[in-house]
Structure 1
Amino acid sequence: MEKVLELLADGAFHSGEALGRALGISRAAIWKKLKMLEALGLQIDSVKGRGYRLHPGVELLDHERIHNALDPSIKEGVVVRTCLKTASTNDLVREIPVASPLIKGVCLAEYQTCGRGRRGRAWDNPFGSTISMSVRWFYSAAMASLEGLSLALGLAVLKALERCGGSHLKLKWPNDLLWHAPDGFRKLSGILLEVHGDPTGDCEVIIGIGVNIALSREQINGINQPAVDMQRVCGTAVSRNQIASELINEVCRTLDVFSQQGFGHFRAQWEQHDAFAGWNVVLEAPGKMVSGVASGVDVHGGLLLQTRSGMMIFKGGEVSVKAMTPTKSK
């Protein structure tokens, strides 16, 4: 499949006969490979008499383009790998060799078979239509000091997508990025953190980031919540490779600042983009539900909720927020 993709990457039409001749296999074998790619969600046009091509707007990951677009200061501190298919980039990124704990590993995949979302959910990523990226970061302080990291990273993703043309982007506590559409909020991106190591010492943080880039109408409708992609947010085609580079740049900058100053440095910026500040919300946690008015976050990234019993603070983990109504104009 990888060799077929290499031939189709130019966006031109190629006959089944020409593809088979180039790869030394039959036209029937080519047809089977193309059907396998379509089953993964890749859009391929088939026109009688002309052959096959990648659907216009489909842009495959290009390691060289991504690496060349990184800021010079970032290039020195990361090892970037791209792959066609993996179970999960969160797992694969741990296999990338790095020369020092100061080096961050970054993995991007065209397609994941077992992409993970928050609270045990699956992250759906049709082939070539999303960014599925994981970053491996070594942190030399106690796990407790990682509080607020998912919020800081959400802000990093927002900044990167704004730099690529995104607008009207908002943050949902603790780790979702939303687009404020005319008909309400739609999910554009999600973040998942996995932490391994000594609770009181050195630890390894795996940061999984998913961004919808160019989904079909059927793919959008198949997601179990209101969703959107960057193409619809921007109103035009966008470059996956540019977005990947900007994400790596901004995430690495954020990690470096966070390691020195913690979430407190990002708190005011995060609150400026808080989707539900001043809204009536319901928090769902294992075994309980609490309602109140979302009132920003504390210096550690905990959600401040004004309830009838007073101000309460909630941490991340298995807590989720559902918006009800705004108490003030948004």
Structure 2
Amino acid sequence: MHNELDAGLIRAALTADVAQLLGDIQVFASLDSTNAWALQHAQCGDVCLAEQQTAGRGRRGKAWESPAGTNVYLSLRWCFETVPAHLPMLGLVTGLAVAEALRDCGIEGHGIKWPNDIVVGGNNHLQKLGGILLEAVGSLQQVVIGIGLNVNRLPTATSAIDQPWSSLRACAGREFDRNQVVAAILTRLLPGLQVFSRLDMAQFQRNWQHWDVLHGCPVRVLAGSEVIEGIACGVDVQGQLRLEVRDGVIKAFSSADVSVRM
């Protein structure tokens, strides 16, 4: 099995239709952050990968632990002709692409925890496999899509991660060729980005419900300083989390931290 990231092997694993949507693939031994590099240096369609990140970032400014040689740290710079009307859906669509790519790689039992955490396990013990960080480049017509995914690192490894986590290797009981994992992600993600401006909302909501690990669960939502409890009931057409709080009343949240209530 090939243990190092290799741009040539990744490109060779793509179909011609997917490869034509891709720019350059840059692989670095170490970067502070693949998103930071892509924001400064990448062109439209370029992918940046690093074997290690020294200052990886997650949502809400949290650090993303990024040890060398075991995981996937990927950033893609994408450019739209015009700003899509439903740009807030981009993170959710990216999450769907990653979930489907993992299924293509033979992973089972995983899903998405709104807005775009890739998780595995039952609702009372969700473990994080990966996350997504979107950053706009000046105009909202350009965006850097960052994906961090635990691949071959085992949860027994020394870690400062402050939440339950797992990896593809722990789920499947075998090591993965990270080049094949990256190719699977790009195979799902790039065609989705190409048609994102024409997103079929009804189809998206059906796809989301298939992967939504929160659907129908009692959850606690932290929105700013407010804590709200209710039943998660999918997403609306803006990608907001829908929460049934009482007597059928629905609240929607565009940004919040969500945990499952026992």
> Normalising TM by the smaller chain, what interval?
over 0.9
Query: How far did 1:220 drift?
Result: 6.2
1:84 is aligned, of 19, 22, 29, to 29
**Residue type of the alignment partner of 2:219:** V
Mapped partners of 2:42, 2:95: distance in 1: 26
| Post-superposition CA distance 1:212-264 (Å, at most 9, x none) | 01114443653211100000111212111100111112111111121222655
Q: What percentage of aligned pairs have identical amino acids?
A: 34
2:53 is aligned, of 108, 112, 133, to 112
Alignment of 1:196-211 (within 5 A): 196-198=137-139, 203-211=141-149
2:178 is aligned, of 237, 240, 254, to 240
**Residue type of the alignment partner of 2:261:** M
Mapped partners of 1:289, 1:296: distance in 2: 19
The answer to whether structure 1 residue 284 and structure 2 residue 229 are counterparts is no
For the residue of structure 1 that corresponds to 2:100, the secondary structure is helix
For the residue of structure 2 that corresponds to 1:60, the secondary structure is coil
Please identify, of 116-125 and 75-84, the stretch whose mean Cα deviation from structure 2 is larger.
75-84
| Post-superposition CA distance 1:159-183 (Å, at most 9, x none) | 1111111100111000101112597
**Residue type of the alignment partner of 2:242:** L
Distance 1:278 1:220, change over 3 A: farther
| Post-superposition CA distance 1:281-307 (Å, at most 9, x none) | 111111211111001111221111001
Query: How far did 1:70 drift?
Result: 1.3
Distance 1:214 1:258, change over 3 A: same
**Structure 1: gaps of 5 or more residues:** 1-56, 326-330
TM-score, normalization: structure 1? 0.74
Mapped partners of 1:172, 1:314: distance in 2: 14
Considering only aligned residues, what root-mean-square deviation do their CA atoms show, in Å? 2.0
The total of aligned residue pairs comes to: 260
Distance 1:87 1:231, change over 3 A: same
Query: How far did 1:59 drift?
Result: 1.3
Q: Which has the larger radius of gyration?
A: 1
**Structure 2: gaps of 5 or more residues:** none
**Residue type of the alignment partner of 1:130:** N
Mapped partners of 2:153, 2:84: distance in 1: 36
Query: How far did 1:145 drift?
Result: 2.4
Larger helix percent: 1
1:311 corresponds to: 250
1:222 corresponds to: 160
